[in-house]
Structures are given as structure tokens and as C-alpha cells.
Copies of this chain bind each other. A is one copy, B any other.
Amino acid sequence: MKCSRCRKTAVINLPSHNAAFCRDCFLDFFLKQVRRGIEQHGLISEGDRVLAALSGGKDSLALALALHELGINVTALHIDLGIGTSSDKARAVCERFCEGHGIPLIIKETAEDGLAIPRVKEALNRPICSACGKIKRYFFNKIAMDGGFSCVATGHNLDDEVARLSSNTLRWDKGYLSDQGPLLEGSGGFARKIKPLWRLTEYETAHYAFLMGIENHYAPCPYSEGASFSVLKRLWQDLEEAMPGRKISFYQGFLERARPLFAAEETENGDALKPCALCGYPTSSDICGVCRIRRTVQEKADLLHA
């Protein structure tokens, strides 16, 4: 197989783009797709300071590196969840990566706020994943706002987005359908959220990470039940194989034709936000979700020491 551009030997075949690429042309293609994704939805403007969420997984590392390679002013943020060796390893990967590439790194330990995940897990009588996600998003936002960053970037790729969109569509969840997309504008205490890898698949992103020598030693979370949306992602692989190009046309078609309808309705009927009485974070309740978690953890601790 030859590279569609330069006719050297190809290292990757991309049926949905009707193309194959050698190493250099693929890296060029990858960055061009990231840039196109950014420009298509105005994710980043001249002079923006981007805070990239860095879990230590290959998608988030690829995101930070691609933004850096594109000459964008990017700072990485790693949230240390305090989950024993799993968190230690992830943090060490992020530190080595950022040092190696000269990307500034902020580390936030949730334990500082009494929110080490094992402690939260002990205190809560429900699955930890959604609480952990809430805590991470809370700190992404808080650190972006406090640090004067223009936006928070996450490493969600096309497969993540398509699986999430399918899940939202299977349930016809109008609230989630009203704001899913590569850009969520900032407003009322919320930083702008962007997903610059939305045009790239998991496969393409993994290849970029591999070809750029990104370390792949990420230890999966011991509390997680494995990859989310795994059933839907498998179905989408089958569908994409049968109909190449379907993933991105489904996602783009949604953004162009359907999301505006859901968004218009949400603007009319959505919950109004106000600052959390405890921490000032925007919320539709009196007290935000993370302060409620914090309170539960504290009550549990008080009970044990009473």
C-alpha cells in the first residue's frame, strides 16, 4: 500500500478518508484535521490560553501535544485523584510527558479539598464514576476560571463523541442533545469547553500517539468497569466498516441540523443557573454537586470520629 500523497510505503489506511499515509504525511494529516476541527467551530482564537485536561491516557497526551505542535499556547492540567498507585503512575506519565515537550503542567490533588476518590467512594452509596467525573469537571472549570484561561480542552475523539451522541439519541435525552458538540460556550461562571480532536477517530489518535513516541503506560482506574460506551463503540465499528464515513457524517449532521432544534427548546425550558451558596460554582440547586459530595464525605468522617 502506497501513501496517497507522496507514494512512499503507507503505514496507515483510512477508508473513511479514502486514503493511506506514510508516517510523515499521516502526522501532517492529523494536525491538519485538528486545525480544521478547531477552525470549523471556532474552538480557539488568536491569543487564547488553552488549559488541556491531561489524564495520562493517550488521547489526552495526544491532544496536548497536537495543540503544542500547532503553536497554540497550551498549559496541561492533571487532576491527581489520590487512587493509590494508579494515580501515582498517571501523574508520573504526565510529568515526564510535559517535561519532555516543554508544556507547562498544573497538578491539582483532590485530596487537598478532602476529595481523594477512595474517601469519596467510602462515603457515597452510589457508583463512584459519576461523582469522580463531577469532581474532575469541577476542578477543570475552577482552575481555568481562577487562572484566567480562555477554555478547557479535553481529549474526546470522534468515537467518544459518536458513542455519546448515540447514547443520548437512543434515549432522546433532549437536555444532553441540546449541548453536545465540540464547543460549549462559556457563560455565567462556566469556562468554554472544547474538544479539538472531534474529527479524529480513536484509531487515528492512537496512531498519532504511537508515531510521536507518546508513552503508553497508563494504568486503568481500579474502580472503573472498563471503557464506557463499549457496546455502542463496537456497533459503530461495524457500521463504519459497512458504510465508511458514517461516523463523521452522523456527528456533523447532528451539529448542523438537529442540535439547533434541541438547543432552541432548551433555551426556552432549561433550568436557570445561580452560584452555589458554598463555593460559588454555577448550579441549578442551592448547593452544587461537588459541595454536596464534600458535605457527605465530611459527615461520614464526623460520624466515624464522634
Contact string against B for A residues 257-294, beta-carbon threshold 8 Å, 1 for contact and 0 otherwise: 11001100100000000000000000000000000000
- How many chain A residues touch B (CB < 8 A): the figure is 22
Interface pair B250/A170, CB less than 8 Å apart: yes
Q: Which of A86-108 contact B (CB under 8 A)?
A: none
Q: Could you say which of B172, B242, B253, B256 contacts A254, with CB atoms under 8 Å apart?
A: B172
The segment from A14-22, A54-62, A200-208, A231-239 found at the interface with B is A231-239
Q: Give min CB distance, A201 to chain B, whole Å.
A: 17
Q: Give min CB distance, A164 to chain B, whole Å.
A: 15
7 further A-B pairs in the complex, CB-CB below 8 A; given A169-B169, A235-B238, A238-B238: A170-B249, A170-B250, A171-B253, A172-B253, A174-B257, A231-B242, A235-B235
A-B CB proximity, top 3 nearest: A172-B253, A261-B261, A172-B257
The verdict on A246 contacting chain B, using a C-beta distance below 8 Å, is yes
In angstroms, Cα B250 to Cα A253, docked, is 19
Contact string against B for A residues 168-200, beta-carbon threshold 8 Å, 1 for contact and 0 otherwise: 011110100000000000000000000000000
Closest chain B residue to A243, Cβ basis: B231
Residues of the B chain whose Cβ atoms lie less than 8 Å from the Cβ of A254 = 172
Closest chain B residue to A171, Cβ basis: B253
Closest chain B residue to A262, Cβ basis: B261
In angstroms, Cα B256 to Cα A256, docked, is 22
Residues of the B chain whose Cβ atoms lie less than 8 Å from the Cβ of A235 = 235, 238-239
Residues of the B chain whose Cβ atoms lie less than 8 Å from the Cβ of A238 = 231, 235, 238
Closest chain B residue to A232, Cβ basis: B239
Name 15 A/B residue pairs within 8 A (Cβ), A-sorted. Answer: A169-B169, A170-B246, A170-B249, A170-B250, A171-B250, A172-B256, A172-B257, A174-B257, A231-B238, A231-B239, A231-B242, A231-B243, A235-B239, A261-B261, A261-B262
In angstroms, Cα B231 to Cα A239, docked, is 8
In angstroms, Cα B238 to Cα A242, docked, is 15
Q: Give min CB distance, A244 to chain B, whole Å.
A: 13
Residues of the B chain whose Cβ atoms lie less than 8 Å from the Cβ of A169 = 169
